[in-house]
Amino acid sequence: MFAQVLLTLVVMVIMGRRRFAAARNKQIKMQQFATMDLDNAPQLVQVAGRNFINQFEIPVLFYVAVLTALITQTTGYAFTALAWGFVLLRLAHTVVHISSNHLKTRYYLFLFGCITVLAMWIMLVLRML
């Protein structure tokens, strides 16, 4: 979980740096931050913002699964491997998203991440039965 939180914080810094650089270069106006109307911002700014939002979507299911497994003492090597797999897939997804933004690669990384979280939840439920 710490690695996923760290990834989220790194993306937040990247997003902030890109936003301030765009404002400094007059690509966006500071007033746009009042309403977060960044539709006309450079693509690099929009992509970083969207990736930051992504870190609060599927990863929430990951956090709850890990906390539930810890509380119910149903962790194990397979669960831990899936958890690390998820974080590594999220890292790869982020790298692709904020760099080349190759859609097919990004889609498959996202899909495999979702399947990994699903596997974590299935394992969790089966162990709790």
pLDDT of residue 33: 73
Cα 112 to Cα 3, 55, 76, 93, 115: the distances in Å are: 18, 15, 21, 10, 5
pLDDT of residue 96: 98
pLDDT of residue 37: 74
pLDDT of residue 107: 98
Contacts of residue 86, Cβ cutoff 8 Å, sequence gap at least 6: 4, 62, 113, 116, 117, 120
pLDDT of residue 29: 80
Backbone phi, then psi, for 101, in 5-degree steps?
A: 55, 40
Per residue in 40-77, is it b (16+ CB within 10 Å) or e — as a string?
ebbebbbbbbebbebbeebbeebeebbebbeeeeebee
pLDDT of residue 72: 96
Sole residue written with tokens 């870190």: 55
For the chain, domains (ranges, CATH) are 2-128 (1.20.120.550)
* Cβ contact 71:63 at 8 Å: no
Q: Could you tell me the pTM of the whole model?
A: 0.92
pLDDT of residue 32: 75
pLDDT of residue 52: 96
Q: Please state, in angstroms and rounded to a whole number, the distance separating the CA atoms of residues 114 and 42.
A: 29
pLDDT lower than 70: segments of the chain: none
pLDDT of residue 31: 74
C-alpha neighbours within 13 Å on the C-beta side of residue 26: 0
